[in-house]
């Protein structure tokens, strides 16, 4: 199925959000138990809800169908994390990997919001909620 630019941008964003949730789950154990981690846990639960909302709206408004995760990319990300752990602490590696993913999510959101094709209002509202979420979580990725 060929996708329009808007559909492709939305699909990329959804995949990146899902990967960010998976990355957090994979690396959460490397973060020390703290108020910071508890807050991140809550924010990632919120992200899961936002993802489900966006997926439903993308199916309804843009005709997107769910796609399987890119296992090659997940494997590459895991190997990169292992390589980084040779000279960084596990917590530092986890934060850096997740910070890189956050930047990718933010860039994909910006790309989708700049699409010329008009997005339905309810989808635009969800994208604004995601932007607010990304702004709220950004300080937590700093070492």
> pLDDT by residue (tens digit) across 89-116?
767 777 888 888 999 999 999 999 987 5
Handedness of CA 121, 124, 125, 126 (dihedral sign): positive
Sign of CA dihedral 57, 45, 105, 1: negative
We report the CATH number of the domain holding residue 64 as: 1.20.1260
In this structure, are residues 21 and 98 in contact, taking their beta carbons and an 8 Å threshold? no
- Is-contact 13 105, C-beta < 8 A? yes
Output b/e per residue, 87-119; b: 16+ Cβ within 10 A.
eeeeeebbbbbbeebbebbbebbebbeeeeeeb
What is the pLDDT of the chain when averaged over all its residues?
83
Using the predicted structure, report yes or no on whether residue 34 has a pLDDT greater than 70: yes
pLDDT grade for 47, boundaries at 50, 70 and 90: very high
Mean pLDDT across the stretch 31-58? 90
The number of folded domains in the chain is: 1
pLDDT tens, 52-80? 999 999 888 888 776 665 656 666 666 66
Q: What pLDDT is stored for residue 116 in this prediction?
A: 58
Query: 98 near 24, Cβ under 8 Å?
Result: yes
pLDDT at 63: 81
What pTM does this model have? 0.83
With CA atoms as reference, report the closest residue to 133 among 19, 49, 38. Answer: 49
Instruction: Check pLDDT > 70 for residue 1.
Output: no
Q: Which domain holds residue 130?
A: 5-141
């Amino acid at each position: 199925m060929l996708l329009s630019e808007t559909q492709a941008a939305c699909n990329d964003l959804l995949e990146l959000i899902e990967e960010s949730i998976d990355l957090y789950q994979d690396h959460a154990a490397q973060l020390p138990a703290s108020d910071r981690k508890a807050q991140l846990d809550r924010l990632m639960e919120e992200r899961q809800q936002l993802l489900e909302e966006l997926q439903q709206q993308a199916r309804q408004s843009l005709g997107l169908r769910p796609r399987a995760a890119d296992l090659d990319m997940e494997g590459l990300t895991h190997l990169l994390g292992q390589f980084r752990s040779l000279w960084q602490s596990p917590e530092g590696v986890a934060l850096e990997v997740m910070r890189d993913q956050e930047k990718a999510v933010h860039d994909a959101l910006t790309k989708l919001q700049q699409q010329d094709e008009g997005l339905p209002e309810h989808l635009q509202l969800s994208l604004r909620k995601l932007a607010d979420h990304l702004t709220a979580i950004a300080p937590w990725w700093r070492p």
